[in-house]
Amino acid sequence: MITTTTPTTPAAAPPTRPAAQTERQIRRIAFSQRFGRWDVKFSPYLYVSPFFILFGITGLFPLLYTAYVSVHEWNLIGGQGAFVGLDNFTFVLQQQQFWIALRNTFSIFLLSSLPQVALALVIAAMLDRNLRGKTFWRMGVLLPYIVAPVAVTLIFSNMFGDQYGLVNNMLSRIGLDPIGWHSQVLPSHLAIATMVNFRWTGYTALIFLAAMQAVPRDYYEASMLDGAGRVRQFFSITIPQLRPTVIFVVITSTIGGLQIFDEPRLYDQTGQGGASSQWMTITIYLYNLGWGQLNFGRAAAVAWLLFLIIVVIGLINLAVTRSIAGSGSRARS
Amino acid sequence: MTTPTLTPPAADPRPGRDGSADAARSTPRRRRRGTAVDRPGFLVYGFLGAVLLGAVFPLYWSFLIGSGDASTITRQDIVWWPGGNFIANALEVIDNPSVNFWKAVGNSLLVSTVVAASVVLFSTLAGYAFAKLRFAGRNGLLIFVIATMAVPTQLGVVPLFIAMSKIGLAGTLSAVILPAIVSAFGVFWMTQYLKQALPYELIEAARVDGASMIRTFWHVALPASRPAAAMLGLFVFITTWTNFFWPFIVLDRQNPTLPVALSLLQSNYFVDYSVVLAGVILSTIPLLILFLLAGRQLVSGIMQGAVKG
């Protein structure tokens, strides 16, 4: 290991050899320290950078670039054309189809979010009881979540068939007139909302259940001593305590719900949202403009309009959340 | 945005436990609530039974029609028992040349696995940095991540399609994978988890022993994040598997994912619902198996703070 090239006296050798060794060691420490400092300083940025770079390229940039496309003439085949200012927007806003799509989107959204929240609250309250086989029930209500929206739609569009559907079949058995689940406006919205509710109610109920378990049990015990029944407890303790959670669920479902596409697209064979656009939503309108009429400029204008609508509704929700959360904590203290 | 539902997953070192673990862990107070007197009555079970029926019935109906023949649907009396044609109908789906069933299954499996793996990896990396490392601009960047969770990136489809066509990826699976390989929600989820699940002492011990930053991540942070990472992977897998809008836009009919192939069943021919709904059942089986294996984890994942989407 130690090679002595120069003949040294045994007495002189010990001092020189350790000296060389320590020098080497010092240099190594200095390097590793410098590397270590560099490592500590830049590693965090290195670790978060993949997310920011990839999100920037595939998420943020396309969204912003949509604004650029929307002020140009732009076709699927011809590519980018002339700058046209806000022409695409004025065109879209003058189309009756756009306003019908807006109406349908909001109608379906309301029909799917309000009953869903109400039903999920009740289910969660039941699941919060001291059940036998907790896991079984919880998994049971979650089952529809793993069925793809496409599959859900195919099942329900069959069950809600105008002529031979199960629902109309049952209705006529109990002596009611069949309903035009596809041909009429409101029934078609109801059918589509049912698909959304089928898939998400159990999921939402589990979110509420988690929030319910965080409610201090003292509240219930105190109210029980005051003679409150279960129903009274549900409305006077559980619901107020869950208000922030409810609003959070509504906000997240707004973002997804206003972009609804799968269910209305596959509700019939043509995918156009009905013969007279009974259930055509904004995203279907966007798709038809872009990939049906091959007009990307106008499709981008619709995308940007929908984005603005979602932002505005999100901000309104946020303001509501803030004020309710504020008053809630004041009442509690 | 930080609401009670966004509480991080509990730092339970036992990954096998389901949502009821918190009941077992809970205070004696909760226990007392569970005396025999407090057992819920018939009404509660009846109600939940009805909900369960509602959850299962559409799938059963689908199997009912899918196991009949073309005439089943038009019969006036409702048949409540499955017929014997399911295999035949399923084979018709599989053999349908315009559906490319096996290709679709393979594609869905590939896309979902790759997306889930990459989201978990990048989210854990970034989550570790946000939760445990100090660096300038950390809070600002984290707020940016949280804000982007509310951005409807799906609305960027038009430029995304233009870009994918320009670089020649339109129609390929890469076009489906690329926009999904990172997730703001994933980063937030891992950050919240690692904040409380990974003690600073462990990181410091590794550093004192001379481990580099990446070694510390690999040998200390990654093992500690396993329970939350598994749940995240599960959710991303399901979300990707069931996703329709973007794959439908960017993929060819010859090279579909499963939901895209399924949609072709309805639009291609005169609709024979017994075949369509047999296809629905067939395409749901893989996730049904996953649900039976990991349903407990899904439940506790949602209860520990999952977000829609």
Of B54, B159, B213, the CB nearest to A66: B159
State the alpha helices, DSSP H only, in chain B.
Answer: 21-25, 28-33, 42-66, 86-95, 101-132, 138-148, 157-166, 173-177, 184-197, 200-208, 213-216, 222-224, 226-242, 245-250, 258-268, 273-303
DSSP 8-state code for residue A12: T
Which residues are CB-neighbours of B251 under 8 A, at least 6 positions away? B171, B173, B175, B176, B257, B260
Chain B interface test: which of A28, A55, A105 (most B C-beta within 10 Å): A55
B148 interaction partners in chain A (CB closer than 8 Å):
55, 59-60
Of A143, A207, A265, the CB nearest to B291: A143
Q: How many CB atoms lie within 10 A of CB B1?
A: 15
* Residues A297-321 pLDDT 10s: 999 999 999 999 998 887 887 787 6
Listed residue (A138, A103, A164, A319) closest to B273, CA to CA: A164
Can you tell me the distance from the alpha carbon of A43 to that of B128, in angstroms, rounded to the nearest whole number?
A: 11
Q: How many CB atoms lie within 10 A of CB B208?
A: 8
What mean pLDDT is predicted for residues A172-194?
Answer: 91
A225 touches chain B (CB under 8 A): no
From first CA to last CA, the distance across chain B in angstroms is 15
* Residues A113-168 pLDDT 10s: 889 999 999 999 999 888 888 999 999 999 999 999 999 999 999 899 888 788 98
Name the pLDDT band for A329 (thresholds 50, 70, 90). very low
Which residues are CB-neighbours of B20 under 8 A, at least 6 positions away? A134, A135
The fraction of chain A above a pLDDT of 70, given in percent, is 86
Q: What is the pTM of this model?
A: 0.85
The pLDDT of residue B107: 95
Can you tell me the distance from the alpha carbon of B275 to that of A20, in angstroms, rounded to the nearest whole number?
A: 83
Restricting to A residues 63-122, those with a Cβ less than 8 Å away from any Cβ of B are 63, 65-66, 68-69, 74, 122
* DSSP assignment string, A35-56: HHHHHHHHHHHHHHHHHHHHHI
From first CA to last CA, the distance across chain A in angstroms is 75
Can you tell me the distance from the alpha carbon of A281 to that of B106, in angstroms, rounded to the nearest whole number?
A: 31
Residue A64, helix vs strand vs coil = helix
Record the tokens describing residue B2, joined without a space: 């930080």
Helices (H) and strands (E) in chain A, counts: 14, 2
Min CA distance, A253 vs chain B (Å)? Answer: 7
* Residues A64-113 pLDDT 10s: 899 889 898 888 777 788 888 888 899 999 999 999 999 999 999 999 98
Please indicate whether, in this complex, the C-beta atoms of B212 and A129 are within 8 angstroms of each other. Answer: no
A74 interaction partners in chain B (CB closer than 8 Å):
162
Chain A interface test: which of B158, B251, B291 (most A C-beta within 10 Å): B158
